[in-house]
Amino acid sequence: MSTRLQSKGRLVDTTQPMEFRFNGKRLKGYAGDTLASALLANDQMLMGRSFKYHRPRGAVASGAEEPNALVNLGQGGKFEPNQRATTTELFEGLYATSQNHWPTLEFDVGAVNAALARFLPAGFYYKMFIHPRPFWKYVYEPFIRQSAGLGKAPKERDADTYEHFYFYADVMVIGGGIAGLTAALEAGRAGARVLLVEQTAHWGGRAVVDGAEIGGKPAEDWVAETVAELAAMDNVTIRARTMGAGVYDHGFILAYERLTDHNPETSGPRHRLWRVRAKQTISATGAIERPLSFAGNDIPGVMLAGAVRDYLVNWGVSIGDRTVVVTNNDDAYRTAIALHRAGLRVPAILDARASGGGALADEARAAGIRVEAGRAIAKVKGGKRVEAVEVCLQAGEGAVLETIPCDAVAMSGGWSPVVHLWSHCGGKLLWDTELAMFRPDPARAPTGSDGLGFVAAAGTANGHLGTSAVLADAQSAGRAAAKATGAKPKTGKAPQSNDADEAPIEPVWLMPQGAGDALRMKAWLDYQNDVKVSDVQLAAREGYESVEHAKRYTTLGMATDQGKLSNINGLAVLSGALDQAIPVTGTTTFRPPYTPISMGAIGGSARDGLFQPIRKTPIYGYHVDQNADFEPVGHWRRPYTYPRSAETVHDAVNREVVNTRANIGLLDASTLGKLIVKGPDAGRFLDMMYTNMMSNLAIGKCRYGLMCSENGFLSDDGVVARIDEDTWLCHTTTGGADRIHAWMEDWLQCEWWDWKVYVANVTEQYAQVAVVGPKARKLLEKLGGMDVSKETLPFMQWADGTLGGFPVRVYRISFSGELSYEIAVPASLGRAFWDRLVADGEEFGLMPYGTECLHILRAEKGFIMIGDETDGTVIPQDLGLNWAISKKKDDYLGKRAQEREHMVDPKRWKLVGLETLDGSVIPDGAYAVAAGKNANGQRNTEGRVTSTYYSATLKRGIAMGLILNGPDRMGDVVEFPKVDGTSVKAKIVDQVFYDKAGEKQDV
Amino acid sequence: MRYNAWQIFKEAFTGQTGWKPVWRDPEPKKEYDIVLIGGGGHGLSTAYYLAKNHGLTNIAVLEKGYIGSGNIGRNTTIVRANYFLPGNSEFYSHSLKLWEGLESDLNYNVMHSQRGLINLFHSDGQRDAFVRRGNAMINQGDDAVLLDRDGVRQHLPYIDFDNVRFPVYGGLLHPRGGTARHDAVAWGYARGADQRGVDLIQNCEVTGIDISNGKVTGVQTSRGPIRAKKVAMVAAGRSGQVAAMAGMRLPIESHVLQAFVTEGLKPVIDHVVSFGMGHFYISQSDKGGLVFGGDLDFYSSYAQRGNLPMKEHVMEAAMTLMPMIGKAKVLRSWGGIMDMSPDGSPIIDRTHVDGLFVNCGWNYGGFKAVPASGWAYAHLIATGKPHDTAARYRLDRFTTGRGIMDEEGTGSQHNLH
Ligand SMILES: Cc1cc2nc3c(=O)[nH]c(=O)nc-3n(C[C@H](O)[C@H](O)[C@H](O)COP(=O)(O)OP(=O)(O)OC[C@H]3O[C@@H](n4cnc5c(N)ncnc54)[C@H](O)[C@@H]3O)c2cc1C
């Protein structure tokens, strides 16, 4: 059984007991525990089930590399799936349940898959379920999809908050082991601005667990002193519980701080995303131990030797009473010796190397531990817990020499440097045959814009295993990084350690070497995804030879640990199967993040209302007070209509239409884009931007203008006013303001950079109100101030002045066909001016109107709307807007395109009005069908509806549409099929339905 | 070797030793009738249909990495036929029909899953645009259903309908839209082509295109020169570089598009959901990971990795649309190089060089096109004439302006993307 020892452990605070729940059971742990150590202390080895076969799973590791011990954590809005028990710090009241089983963890029906395993080898689904087709859709696919996933998906709104944080560093050091501490210390002493992060809550990494000596003192003391020195430096920032998550181009580093995971009751954000600009980054991320591939290596109780040591030393937890150690290197002897010293039994150390180990092996033997060289595990016996191991020769095929009863196995297949962060941005690796590991190739670091490396690896992450070597390497890495940023590093030697004399590792990729099919089918590579040695060999046999093919075919390394434990073992097996050297096979790509990070953290605070925040006009508050029905328009929110008490939206719109034509309507037009174009070359510039002539517009006058892309397509429209000799004010559509501003800048900066023109977007500097309707002038006269008569201020002119004491600029322009004044006031006066109009307008029947009424009014007049009548394929000529295209100009954007043969082809879809024969409203987006079918058997079309409304003025449906040869087919009837299978017929008519002569607006 | 239940059963009892390689690993021959440059989805499907539809098998597919190392193995696997401009409409409609028969055609389960695709809309204007799209889809013989708010709620109960920023007005459901397993598509076509005699040559980078007297004669590769009567470029994100070897300057910009996957979760998102206003779309893989993406990174690059700002944007949109998603954890993110064309539509055409063909410009949407693109390209290469369903994908439209097809409706322009 696994249990807590009297010795407790270096991280556990026995004065702070804590209660937590696992699958409903109330259990006890201490502050300083991880959920995994606390569960193990309570003899809860079984923690979950694997993905494919639902095999019983216990913790195999003690850190971020853990693939098995994943739990559902928390409840409600705090619920989080797939939490690694090994990196979850225990807190009072922690609530966890195990994953991927039904009905219970101990008895899981899904485990039947394990019995069927022989029918479900790697990639079986590619070869199955092909016939018959409906079975796939209705039986197999739903079944497969139902079995997806491990943790439950969160269902409730995430109750936590997240934040982003910016940081600038000369040197960023990732990893708070002795290498990271040394590197940070060196860079800090050199005066560089340093950021040091460590993913766990504790400093010192492995060295403190292994009891190394540094500079003659225990590592524990050295670490404490070093952390204290770093903390005292003004130029150094250190953060525990902060993982270096990703390295991006140009020295952009992502770090992920878990602020309250260890104490969820604390207020404030749960996670903080650090976005760091670092001149130099040092990856001091250590190494991860590799499992050994023997049959039954996935049975709970089989654990990495280093992890066994961690649980023992850090948390005072023994994972078994009798632990067999199996290894191909000397490090695992440390585990055996530590267990022995703690009074636990180690029945045997099985060392796969024929020649055995070095000094540590002697020490183990001297302590009375049985050490067997050249031996291997043929098979682990047990179901939900290790019961015994069968011992064989490593060099053989697995003939059992002996069975050793035990309840735990500590295994070590060697150590792999954590090269993820080195690799994210293109750092390359080399295979070190002697140490049997991929390590960073210093000659091929990720490079910045200057062609020089900006990431360095240090310590174990750089392939150094001995403590002295680690310290020396980290010291020089810290100095080099500091130097590269212009700081002046100190000199002096790195502290020394008491390294034991170790015998070299001998790579073991399969145990025993000649294991047959039956054993290989039970030798796990990827514990979570259930990928075994036999699966990778099958992939190779089937020709999935590239390491990426093998990965994708078998799903090796695609689990939540992203292959931290399985990748190297897997690609070694693949290399073996292909009979090629490991570096020829190569690795799969390392991608950020290093370990998974919450979507919430990456999104930060920009969610809900802060996700693309709403832009509000100065008059917005009025619309809210009136309970307007809003509609999103670009980033704005505009009133769609203003329903009164029991009115429907539809009735409200009709009322607004009728009232505006009869009395006065008031529109908040502040969202319209307003661009000031100014300078000696402004006229010339606008002549290029617009299809019409703008340079000859007289001061004080307005002109409607069209803008096209180089391909001739209409992209925006609006009224331009000439303000003074070299100033024009260009109105754009609401959605077009930013785009057109950018478009103008594009031309000014890239093409006509020598033209003297400035463009300023003043959209938000003004509130603009349209006062529309036959009684509009009366209202303005009541306000008093400037002369707004037809004589002084005729149609298509503008004037500055005051109205009711407000400073105003009044444009006589109309998008409704009625007498209309668009009045701009400084934004700060917008609301007051609007309120004044509303109050004074009461006697004239003034009512505000929304965007839908605006649309109907313009459609009744046959005015086009960008986005309705245009879609990126329409030129102004298609819309009958030739009158707005200057014939005098040599050039404007789009002119050449519009003269091309196919653009002047009479067979284009052109704008016309459409009148349904029965007076109904044609559905939006309807197509007109023509005779015949195309290559795909589709019905041919001859046009489509672009705008369609019920006109309250005419009391019938009106529409505009683009119809093949439309203007030449007046009176023809075209047919629009509806979604319900029926169709509606409409007559082609002139698109101006109301006041064809334009008398009403020009009064 | 054909795949069926009996094979699986038999192999289960013989240690899985009887399985044969999915494709051979041949040495390149000195000469082929046709050389295809690029072993992505489109190159492989082209080879397959050249062999199957036209009986041409003296063909090599030259791939600089491993089969499927490009975008075919990096995309977010959405398959749909909801295009509306003539030219695109018939092409994607044809493609979806081919998808629906793909498994039995290839004898390989590509896990085409017609789980339905929902495009959300958040304003009247957007609704009108989607209705138009729906009408075009129905007219082209495909399916589309307009959902109101409650209709969407029945399908996607977990999204935030009353979001302060983008309240949901409704959605356009395309029931036959869905996903497929991307690698399996590459592998299935590769296996099918190989079985018909096509040589798939991996780790073979084309470094030059040989042209004499205006006619193509072969290619230079990292594994030596190979003569060919016809050469067909189909290199997606690298198209600009490859065409430059023939002295061509394509109207293509190469941009990074990222994709993301979370840790595996129990089933929660049953459809493909597209949130256009937030530039965000998502589906759940058969393994349980949430697969999602957003917009381009907006700078030209050949590095298959993306940057942080777009990641953040994508997660913001996700959190806004699906407020429960914050504690799903991002497992991995990666990038692919998109061959962006000025109007967002592809090119399948001849070139000014006799015997040299070009297929590119798939933007972010070329996965769904894999079957129809291969079909049409094979037709063009074999017969010299464009296939009816792809007749409008002409290269010269960017010179003449004729036939520009811009589904996004913003107007064709360079630097658009
Ligand atoms: C993140 C992302 C998400 C996407 N999502 C979707 C989606 O949901 N739905 C959809 O329909 N589409 C999607 N796409 C787009 C789709 O993946 C691509 O349009 C499509 O795969 C491109 O065609 P391909 O498969 O032939 O390209 P690739 O697979 O890139 O094939 C091109 C091949 O050419 C090879 N090559 C290049 N140069 C040479 C040379 N000189 N010599 C030899 N070989 C060479 C490359 O190595 C590569 O294998 C997405 C793409 C990305 C990156």
Residues A949 and A994 in one domain: yes
Residue A938 pLDDT: 77
Residue B298 binned pLDDT confidence (cut-offs 50, 70, 90): confident
For chain A, give the percent of residues with pLDDT over 90: 90
Q: For residues A458 and A286, give the distance between their C-alpha atoms in angstroms, rounded to a whole number.
A: 8
- For residues B308 and B333, the answer to whether their CB atoms sit within 8 Å is no
Residue B416 pLDDT: 37
DSSP code for B280: E
Interface test mutation site (partner A, options B195, B327, B331, B404, max chain A beta carbons within 10 A): B327
- For residues B248 and B351, the answer to whether their CB atoms sit within 8 Å is yes
Residue A872 pLDDT: 85
Q: Give CA separation, A125 vs A422, B92, B110, B184, B355, in Å.
A: 36, 27, 9, 10, 40
H runs (alpha helix) in A359-431: 359-366, 420-424
Interface test mutation site (partner B, options A611, A641, A964, max chain B beta carbons within 10 A): A611
H runs (alpha helix) in A813-900: 830-841, 851-860, 895-898
Residues A152 and A13 in one domain: yes
- Summarize pLDDT for A37-55 with one digit per residue, the tens: 999 999 999 999 999 999 9
| CATH code, A323 | 3.50.50.60
Q: For residues A823 and B57, give the distance between their C-alpha atoms in angstroms, rounded to a whole number.
A: 73
H runs (alpha helix) in B276-408: 308-321, 370-383, 397-400
- The answer to whether the CB atoms of A608 and B140 lie below 8 A apart is no
pLDDT at B413 > cutoff 50:
no
- Summarize pLDDT for B90-106 with one digit per residue, the tens: 999 999 999 999 999 99
Q: What is the arithmetic mean of pLDDT over A912-917?
A: 97
- The answer to whether the CB atoms of A589 and B134 lie below 8 A apart is no
Q: What is the arithmetic mean of pLDDT over B264-289?
A: 95
Domain that residue A937 falls in = 899-1003
Structure tokens at A303: 């654990």
Residue carrying structure tokens 């790579």: A507
Average pLDDT of every residue of chain A: 96
Q: What is the arithmetic mean of pLDDT over A902-907?
A: 90
* B29-112+178-251+344-417: CATH class: alpha beta
Query: Which residue, A130, A156, A182, sits at the end of a domain?
Result: A156
Residue A968 binned pLDDT confidence (cut-offs 50, 70, 90): very high
Q: For residues A397 and A510, give the distance between their C-alpha atoms in angstroms, rounded to a whole number.
A: 10
Average pLDDT of every residue of chain B: 94
Residue carrying structure tokens 């109100």: A769
**CA A257 to ligand 1 center in whole angstroms:** 36
Query: ∠ at Cα A645 (B126, B167), nearest 5°?
Result: 25
> What number of helices (H) and strands (E) belong to chain B?
11, 18
Nearest CA distance, B357 vs chain A (angstrom): 22
Nearest CA distance, B301 vs chain A (angstrom): 12
Nearest CA in chain A to B92: A936
Residues A405 and A371 in one domain: yes
- The answer to whether the CB atoms of B323 and A600 lie below 8 A apart is no
- Summarize pLDDT for B138-182 with one digit per residue, the tens: 888 899 999 999 999 999 999 999 988 889 999 999 999 999 999
- For residues A279 and A173, the answer to whether their CB atoms sit within 8 Å is no
Q: What is the arithmetic mean of pLDDT over B352-356?
A: 98
Residues A18 and A124 in one domain: yes
Q: Best mutation site among B67, B69, B71, B187 for ligand 1, i.e. most ligand atoms within 8 A of its Cβ?
A: B71
Q: For residues A144 and B272, give the distance between their C-alpha atoms in angstroms, rounded to a whole number.
A: 17
Residues A13 and A59 in one domain: yes
Nearest of B266, B239, B409, B179 to residue A51 by alpha carbon: B266
Residue B409 pLDDT: 62
The residue nearest atom 19 of ligand 1, judged by CA position, is B366
For chain B, give the percent of residues with pLDDT over 90: 81
**CA B345 to ligand 1 center in whole angstroms:** 15
Q: For residues A183 and A195, give the distance between their C-alpha atoms in angstroms, rounded to a whole number.
A: 11
Residues A115 and A192 in one domain: no
Q: What is the arithmetic mean of pLDDT over A405-434?
A: 97
Torsion of CA B31, B32, B36, B37, to 10 degrees: 0
**CA B143 to ligand 1 center in whole angstroms:** 27
- Summarize pLDDT for A362-414 with one digit per residue, the tens: 999 999 999 999 999 999 999 999 999 999 999 999 999 999 999 999 999 99
Residue carrying structure tokens 């093949």: A964
Size of interface A-B (CB pairs under 8 A): 367
Residues A63 and A113 in one domain: yes
Structure tokens at A484: 């590269």
Residue A470 pLDDT: 98
Could you tell me if residue A770 is inside a domain?
Answer: no
Structure tokens at A778: 């009366």
pTM reported for the whole predicted model: 0.94
Q: What is the arithmetic mean of pLDDT over A791-802?
A: 97
Task: Enumerate residues lining ligand 1, CB below 6 A.
Answer: B 37-43, 62-65, 69-72, 74-78, 205-206, 234-238, 242, 257-259, 293, 336, 338, 362, 364-368
**Residue among B264, B277, B311 minimizing CB distance to A149:** B264
Nearest of B304, B332, B265 to residue A245 by alpha carbon: B332
- The answer to whether the CB atoms of B21 and A900 lie below 8 A apart is no
* B113-177+254-340: CATH class: alpha beta
Q: Does B28 touch chain A (CB under 8 A)?
A: no
**Residue among B69, B163, B406 minimizing CB distance to A872:** B406
Residue A729 pLDDT: 98
The β-bridge partners of A278 are A169
**CA B78 to ligand 1 center in whole angstroms:** 14
Which residues in chain A are closer than 8 Å to B403, comparing Cβ atoms?
902
In terms of pLDDT, which residue wins out, A933 or B369? B369
- Summarize pLDDT for A469-489 with one digit per residue, the tens: 999 999 999 999 999 999 999
The residue nearest atom 18 of ligand 1, judged by CA position, is B366
Interface test mutation site (partner B, options A128, A517, A607, max chain B beta carbons within 10 A): A607
Could you tell me if residue A600 is inside a domain?
Answer: no
Residues A409 and A432 in one domain: no
Structure tokens at A308: 């066994």
**Which atom of ligand 1 is the closest one to the Cα of B281?**
8
Which residues in chain A are closer than 8 Å to B130, comparing Cβ atoms?
925
**Residue among B140, B184, B277 minimizing CB distance to A936:** B140
Could you tell me if residue A730 is inside a domain?
Answer: no
CA B385 to chain centre: 23
The residue nearest atom 37 of ligand 1, judged by CA position, is B235
Residue carrying structure tokens 């004439």: B385
By mean pLDDT, which of A516-525, A829-838, B81-90, B239-248 is the weakest? B81-90
pLDDT at A672 > cutoff 50:
yes
Residues A296 and A282 in one domain: no
Q: Best mutation site among B75, B207, B280, B305 for ligand 1, i.e. most ligand atoms within 8 A of its Cβ?
A: B75
By mean pLDDT, which of A193-197, A545-549, A631-635 is the weakest? A631-635
Which residues in chain A are closer than 8 Å to B24, comparing Cβ atoms?
543
Q: For residues A126 and A148, give the distance between their C-alpha atoms in angstroms, rounded to a whole number.
A: 16
- The answer to whether the CB atoms of B265 and A82 lie below 8 A apart is yes
Could you tell me if residue A493 is inside a domain?
Answer: no
* Pairing relationship of beta strands B253-262 and B290-300 according to DSSP bridges: antiparallel
Structure tokens at B200: 């798939």
Q: Which of residues 303-332 of B touch A (CB under 8 A)?
A: 303, 305, 307-308, 311-312, 315-320, 323-332
Both ends of chain B: CA-CA distance in Å?
45
For chain A, give the percent of residues with pLDDT over 70: 100
How many domains does the structure of chain A reveal? 5
Residues A133 and A52 in one domain: yes
pLDDT at B412 > cutoff 60:
no
Residues A1 and A87 in one domain: yes
Could you tell me if residue A788 is inside a domain?
Answer: no
- The answer to whether the CB atoms of B22 and A937 lie below 8 A apart is no
Query: Which residue, A413, A432, A447, sits at the end of a domain?
Result: A413
Query: Would you kindly state where each structural domain of chain B is located, as residue ranges?
Result: 29-112+178-251+344-417, 113-177+254-340
Residues A1 and A139 in one domain: yes
- The answer to whether the CB atoms of B94 and A608 lie below 8 A apart is no
Could you tell me if residue A971 is inside a domain?
Answer: yes
Structure tokens at A185: 């210390």
Q: Which of residues 201-230 of B touch A (CB under 8 A)?
A: 202
**Residue among B23, B66, B90 minimizing CB distance to A548:** B66
Could you tell me if residue A708 is inside a domain?
Answer: no
Residue B410 binned pLDDT confidence (cut-offs 50, 70, 90): low
Could you tell me if residue A709 is inside a domain?
Answer: no
Query: Which residue, A156, A174, A194, sits at the end of a domain?
Result: A156
The β-bridge partners of A282 are A173, A456
